[in-house]
Amino acid sequence: MINKKLMMALYLFIVIPMGVQVEGANPTKQKRYVIIHADDAGMSHNVNLATIEAMEKGIVSSCSIMVPCGWFKEFATYAKKHPEKDYGIHLTLNSEWGRYKWGPVAPREKVPSLLDKEGFLWSETLETLGNAKASEVEIELKAQIDRALEFGIPLTHLDTHMGTVVYRPDLVEIYYNLGVEYNLPVMLPRMSNNDKLLSMVPGLKPKFNELIEHAETKNRPILSSLVTSIGEGSYQTRKKAYIKAIQNLPPGVSQVIIHCGIAGEELRGITATWKTRDEDRRIFMDKQLIREVKKSGVEVITWKQFHEMVKKKQL
User: Are 92 and 103 contacting, i.e. CB atoms less than 8 angstroms apart?
Assistant: no
User: Are 275 and 238 contacting, i.e. CB atoms less than 8 angstroms apart?
Assistant: no
List Cα–Cα distances, 188 to 89, 101, 287, in angstroms: 14, 27, 30
Which tops the pLDDT comparison, 36 or 232?
Answer: 36
User: Are 36 and 62 contacting, i.e. CB atoms less than 8 angstroms apart?
Assistant: yes
How far is it, in rounded angstroms, from Cα 189 to Cα 255? 9
Give percent above pLDDT 70 in the chain: 89
- Does the pTM exceed 0.95? no
Q: What pLDDT is recorded for position 107? A: 98
> Quick one: DSSP state of residue 270?
H
Does pLDDT of 95 surpass 60? yes
How far is it, in rounded angstroms, from Cα 44 to Cα 259? 12
Residue 90: beta bridge partners? 159
Does pLDDT of 128 surpass 50? yes
Q: What pLDDT is recorded for position 199? A: 74
* Cα–Cα nearest to 222, from 253, 179, 193: 253
How far is it, in rounded angstroms, from Cα 91 to Cα 106? 13
Which tops the pLDDT comparison, 122 or 16?
Answer: 122
Helix residue ranges per DSSP H, 82-234: 125-131, 134-150, 169-181, 195-199, 204-217
Stretch (H or E) spanning 290: helix 287-296
Give the list of residues 6+ apart from residue 221 with CB closer than 8 angstroms, or none.
Answer: 185, 188, 215, 253, 303, 306, 307, 310
DSSP states of 40-105 as a string? EETS-HHHHHHHHHHHHHSS--EEEE-TTSTTHHHHHHHHHH-TTS-EEEEE------SS-----S
Q: What pLDDT is recorded for position 313? A: 86
Give the list of residues 6+ apart from residue 265 with CB closer than 8 angstroms, or none.
Answer: none
Least confident piece of the model among 11-15, 53-57, 204-208, 268-272 = 11-15
Q: Is 56 exposed, middle or buried (0-12, 13-18, 19+ CB in 10 A)?
A: exposed
Mean pLDDT, the chain, as a whole number? 90
Coil, strand, or helix at residue 38? strand
Domains of the chain, CATH where assigned: 4-311 (3.20.20.370)
